[in-house]
Structure 1
Amino acid sequence: MSKSATQCTHRLVTSPAGRLHLVEQGSGPLVLLVHGFPESWYSWRHQLPALAAAGYRAVAIDVRGYGRSSRPDSVAAYRMLDLVADNLAVVHALGEQSAVIVGHDWGSVIAANSALLQPDVFRAVGLLSVPYAPRGGPRPSEVFARLGGDEEFYVSYFQEPGRAEAEIEPDVRGWLAGFYAAMSGDTMPASTAPDPHFVSKSGTLRDRFPKDRHPSWLGQGELDAYAEEFERTGLIGALNRYRNMDRDWEDLADFDGAPITQPSLFVGGSRDAATTWLADAIDAYPTTLPGLVSSHLLDGCGHWIQQERPDDVNRLLSGWLASLPS
């Protein structure tokens, strides 16, 4: 169905978990956009019209557990294999045989694994903020437990069901505002301040969030959009993704060290901990992403890259998409 770049369609499609909510704009080759934590389809609001105007059928989903998509009760329902199956279901529900997939944060990891596990469907992959690092090494929970010394890494903090929810859900709006500020290029704490990715003994994550500072990309309307959704759904579905990292490590054992060979793009922020902590993963791209077309670090940008620097991201995405074989 052809639509102009100014039109936008919301719909639900069937997935293995139940129903997935998606937002569609434009016509042409399919580009599937996958968000991260704690976001929704709305994080792609700047990219949908830009990609539609460039001649693409841009579709942004609410990942299972988020927004208006289904929220299964089982923690195991949020394993990577199921999220890849959801993306495959979206492509087929839209009447397509293939798609370019682009992800941010956890969406980057989901997009990478979708391309790895379903290369005949996902013909190219764009990764924002979180670099591709093949499955390998020790069990993830063991790695995270060794980080931080007397402090606890946020991924470990998220593991126990109900623990992080008890911190977040009494004040979803305030917690989200602080979390976004802690990882935005213009509001993140100084390098000399306590690291907001870690929790002190008997502390919480929000203890280290910036106070009374909103990043430039986050106005009241944007914060309202996120807060209203998470106030309605809670955070358990979103946090259950973190609670499957060991399960994913087991599920993907056959893909240990596997490269992604399709054409790929990476865009990160120079101030994002994901690009500094995982610098070795970026350096390994000649081996792990042999189809890499281009890799970019946006100077001064933090973690929320497509919202902090939408014009740069739109330019890079459009240029990369135009370079792909039809």
Structure 2
Amino acid sequence: MSQHPVSAPTHRLVPSPAGRLHVVEQGSGPLVLLVHGFPESWYSWRHQLPVLAAAGYRAVAVDVRGYGRSSRPAATDAYRMTELVADNVAVVHALGERTAVVVGHDWGSNVAATSALLRPDVFRAVGMLSVPYAPPGGPRPSTVFASMGGDEEFYVSYFQEPGRAEAEIEPDVRGWLAGFYTALSGDTEPAADAPDPHFVTPGGTLRDRFPAHRLPGWLSEADLDVYAGEFERTGLTGALARYRNMDRDWEDLSGHEGAPVTQPSLFVGGALDASTTWMADAIDAFPVTLPALGGLHILDGCGHWLQQERPAETNRILTDWLEGLPGPAC
């Protein structure tokens, strides 16, 4: 694989149905759109942008609507999955391209997969990190989450009530983020026999179970300052709105129940990441749901933030997979 000269990343605002989206771009060549998850920003792809650029790609990391410097619509239903897919399409077109490979992490994985499902004319391949593809359908999400945890409450249900998680997080954004990142990192997550940080006790908060006074190896104080600075400025409501649309998504996508993603695909998960291990059945179904899967990688000892926890390994997997894809149509 030849190396290409890499210029500094450029920041720009592009029009979208949200209003404007902030994107960070590096390199030239076939477009690779990078979509972050919760609670992150374009910055979570900082290790991938220069490597993909050097490999001959136009790497573009987006601040999803509600995050960072992108627009933050006021209406909760403005954050439904179909709107985020429309944003991805708008970015591709605003950059003067017809097609792209889309790669997402965490919620970004769901957004990337749904983008490929709904707009195969635009997204010619899809990479998913941490959260495996599960086709639309099944029981209503809020019903499923409400049944989890017994006397405790699953974090998704906790996030779904407007204002509730904000009241926990926003008085100390930096401290909360530090605890959340630490709790889900392979090198610092609680022991297997410790209380699960994905659940809330009655009357409690999520941070009650976060490890305190430490950061994972991948996260410097300066990195934490970047994330905290963005959320201190924007608040958390736009980011949390993603969780508050899961039933709407279920309804919006009901016409695609059980549908596979047929484009070339990739999945990378962390062996210690609950997002991967809890969805083992979805991974087992990949021969049916991702018939063109070109790579399945589970990284030993890795937690949820895998492109930051294991940047070199993730970069190698991504560039090898991208190199094997058919070229974009002219």
If the length of structure 1 is used for normalisation, what is the TM-score? 0.99
Task: Report the counterpart of residue 45 of structure 2 in structure 1.
Answer: 44
Q: Which amino acid aligns with 1:199?
A: V
* Separation in structure 2 between the aligned mates of residue 267 and residue 40 of structure 1, nearest angstrom: 19
Equivalent residues in 2 for 1:241-252, closer than 5 Å: 241-252=242-253
Q: Which amino acid aligns with 2:249?
A: D
Task: Report the counterpart of residue 128 of structure 1 in structure 2.
Answer: 129
Task: Report the counterpart of residue 306 of structure 1 in structure 2.
Answer: 307
Equivalent residues in 2 for 1:129-144, closer than 5 Å: 129-144=130-145
* Separation in structure 1 between the aligned mates of residue 126 and residue 73 of structure 2, nearest angstrom: 27
Task: Report the counterpart of residue 275 of structure 2 in structure 1.
Answer: 274
Unaligned runs of 5+ in 2: none
Task: Report the counterpart of residue 322 of structure 1 in structure 2.
Answer: 323
State the Cα RMSD in Å: 0.7
Task: Report the counterpart of residue 145 of structure 1 in structure 2.
Answer: 146
* Separation in structure 2 between the aligned mates of residue 18 and residue 132 of structure 1, nearest angstrom: 28
Shift in Å, 1:4: 4.2
Equivalent residues in 2 for 1:27-42, closer than 5 Å: 27-42=28-43
Q: Which amino acid aligns with 1:154?
A: Y
Whether 1:221 and 2:222 are equivalent positions in the alignment is yes
Q: Which amino acid aligns with 1:323?
A: G
Q: Which amino acid aligns with 2:314?
A: V
For residue 160 of structure 2, give the secondary structure of its aligned residue in structure 1. coil
Shift in Å, 1:8: 1.0
If the length of structure 2 is used for normalisation, what is the TM-score? 0.98
Shift in Å, 1:80: 0.3
Q: Which amino acid aligns with 1:63?
A: V
Shift in Å, 1:17: 1.1
* Separation in structure 2 between the aligned mates of residue 85 and residue 60 of structure 1, nearest angstrom: 16
Shift in Å, 1:160: 1.0
* Separation in structure 1 between the aligned mates of residue 259 and residue 282 of structure 2, nearest angstrom: 13
Equivalent residues in 2 for 1:24-103, closer than 5 Å: 24-103=25-104
Q: Which amino acid aligns with 1:53?
A: A
* Separation in structure 2 between the aligned mates of residue 146 and residue 30 of structure 1, nearest angstrom: 41
Q: Which amino acid aligns with 1:238?
A: A
* Separation in structure 2 between the aligned mates of residue 28 and residue 275 of structure 1, nearest angstrom: 31
For residue 158 of structure 1, give the secondary structure of its aligned residue in structure 2. helix
Q: Which amino acid aligns with 1:213?
A: R
* Separation in structure 1 between the aligned mates of residue 16 and residue 112 of structure 2, nearest angstrom: 16
* Separation in structure 2 between the aligned mates of residue 201 and residue 284 of structure 1, nearest angstrom: 35
For residue 85 of structure 2, give the secondary structure of its aligned residue in structure 1. helix
Task: Report the counterpart of residue 157 of structure 1 in structure 2.
Answer: 158
Task: Report the counterpart of residue 10 of structure 2 in structure 1.
Answer: 9
Q: Which amino acid aligns with 1:259?
A: P
* Separation in structure 2 between the aligned mates of residue 223 and residue 4 of structure 1, nearest angstrom: 29
* Separation in structure 1 between the aligned mates of residue 294 and residue 152 of structure 2, nearest angstrom: 39
Shift in Å, 1:281: 0.3
Shift in Å, 1:156: 0.2
Task: Report the counterpart of residue 234 of structure 1 in structure 2.
Answer: 235
* Separation in structure 1 between the aligned mates of residue 242 and residue 129 of structure 2, nearest angstrom: 18
* Separation in structure 2 between the aligned mates of residue 304 and residue 17 of structure 1, nearest angstrom: 27
1:188-214 superposed Cα distances (whole Å, 9 cap, x missing partner): 000100000000000000000001120
Shift in Å, 1:6: 3.1
Task: Report the counterpart of residue 116 of structure 2 in structure 1.
Answer: 115
1:116-135 superposed Cα distances (whole Å, 9 cap, x missing partner): 00001100000000000011
For residue 187 of structure 1, give the secondary structure of its aligned residue in structure 2. coil
1:31-79 superposed Cα distances (whole Å, 9 cap, x missing partner): 0000000000000000000000000000000000000000000000000
1:200-241 superposed Cα distances (whole Å, 9 cap, x missing partner): 000000000001120000111100000000000000000000
- Percent identical among aligned pairs is 77
* Separation in structure 2 between the aligned mates of residue 148 and residue 249 of structure 1, nearest angstrom: 22
Q: Which amino acid aligns with 2:156?
A: V
1:273-311 superposed Cα distances (whole Å, 9 cap, x missing partner): 011100000000000000100100000000000000000
- Report the count of equivalent residues: 324
Consecutive aligned runs of 4 or more in structure 1 exceeding 2 Å deviation: none
* Separation in structure 2 between the aligned mates of residue 275 and residue 247 of structure 1, nearest angstrom: 24
Shift in Å, 1:5: 1.2
For residue 25 of structure 2, give the secondary structure of its aligned residue in structure 1. strand
Q: Which amino acid aligns with 1:200?
A: T
For residue 138 of structure 1, give the secondary structure of its aligned residue in structure 2. coil
